[in-house]
Amino acid sequence: MVTTPFLQQPSKDYPETIDNQAVLKELATVQERLSTEEASEYLAPIDSRVSLQQLEVERDTLATLITSVGSASIIVGLTTFSVALLGLLLAWKSTTRLEKVARITILITAILEEFESLGVETLPFLKVPGYQPIDLFVRFPGKEFLLFAVRSFGESKIVYNESKQALYYKRVKNGLKKWQPDPLTELSEQAYWLRKNKRELFGNSKGVRKPMAKVLVIWGKTQLDEHQEHLYAPLGDQKFLFISREGGACYVIHQNQICDFVRAWLVHRQSQEKPA
């Protein structure tokens, strides 16, 4: 059996004496540091462009499917009502998915165009047991995080009732109705689950503890109603609707405020990180 010699004196092959125990001790120290500090600081990169391309492919595929199924259902419907109804149901489900994919595609595109030079990363449709998938998780270098939920109620206005701590939507003909299920509760539960079960997205325990903006984005023709001044929170030189209540605080913004909000959030977080 060949053993590694313990060299206590210099030789022509090893001009300097090697302290084997010291070397082993140093290797153990390096391994320990890599398994704690350095390794925990590592964040696996997210390829946002690949995710965006996949969404674009899905969007185009769904659009083609809906057109084909819709046309076929109309033709079949002339002879078989039940088959046509099944086809229309499939087209309706595909349309719902298409709308969601199209919105997230627009959202990611806007964020990448504005912040890609800052190293922003986007991860869409993270699955959460018991809830709808998270629409979009956004991460910046320096461990700054945002969580987006995108919702729409057609031509209506969204109102927050402070006394009932609930969101409502109102339409001209249908009056005021409570928003159910509550998107703010869902967003807070998603954020809690994400911190607990997807810690690798945050890097380490310090990253998990960092503030993460939870943002409900009101989309398209749905508008945000005007609210009392104290419900708006300042971020830099701007103000955004901020719902602070039991179960978690969330921002509520409109689609056209997305880039302004992200920019203001980053400025706000940088000011918070500066030493006093």
- pLDDT, residue 61, reads 85
Q: CB of 155 within 8 A of CB of 222?
A: yes
Q: In this model, does residue 185 exceed pLDDT 80?
A: yes
* 24-33, 99-108, 115-124: segment of lowest average pLDDT: 24-33
- pLDDT, residue 12, reads 43
The residues, ordered by sequence, that sit 6+ positions from 175 with a Cβ below 8 Å of its Cβ are none
- pLDDT, residue 49, reads 87
Q: Percent of the chain at pLDDT above 90?
A: 50
* 44-48, 121-125, 126-130: segment of lowest average pLDDT: 44-48
What are the CB-based long-range contacts (under 8 Å, 24+) for 167-171?
Answer: 167/243, 167/252, 169/222, 170/225
- pLDDT, residue 108, reads 96
The C-alpha angle with vertex 263 and arms to 260 and 266, in degrees rounded to 5, equals 150
CB atoms within 10 A of CB 26: 11
Q: CB of 229 within 8 A of CB of 219?
A: no
- pLDDT, residue 62, reads 80
Q: What is the pLDDT of residues 237-266, one digit of tens each?
A: 899 999 998 878 999 999 999 999 999 999
Q: How many residues does the chain have?
A: 276
φ, ψ for residue 113 (rounded to 5)?
-60, -35
pLDDT band at 7 (very low <50, low <70, confident <90, very high): very low
Domain boundaries, the chain: 43-118, 127-276
Task: Read off the tokens for 100.
Answer: 């969601």
- pLDDT, residue 273, reads 73
CB atoms within 10 A of CB 179: 17
Q: What is the pLDDT of residues 35-68, one digit of tens each?
A: 443 444 445 688 888 888 888 888 888 888 777 6
- pLDDT, residue 75, reads 46
Q: Which residue has the higher pLDDT, 53 or 72?
A: 53
The residues, ordered by sequence, that sit 6+ positions from 221 with a Cβ below 8 Å of its Cβ are 152, 154, 155, 156
pLDDT band at 143 (very low <50, low <70, confident <90, very high): confident
229, amino acid identity: E
Mean pLDDT computed over 91-116? 87
Q: What is the pLDDT of residues 211-244, one digit of tens each?
A: 999 999 999 999 999 999 999 999 988 999 999 9
Mean pLDDT (the chain) is 80
* 43-47, 145-149, 150-154, 166-170: segment of lowest average pLDDT: 43-47
pLDDT band at 275 (very low <50, low <70, confident <90, very high): low
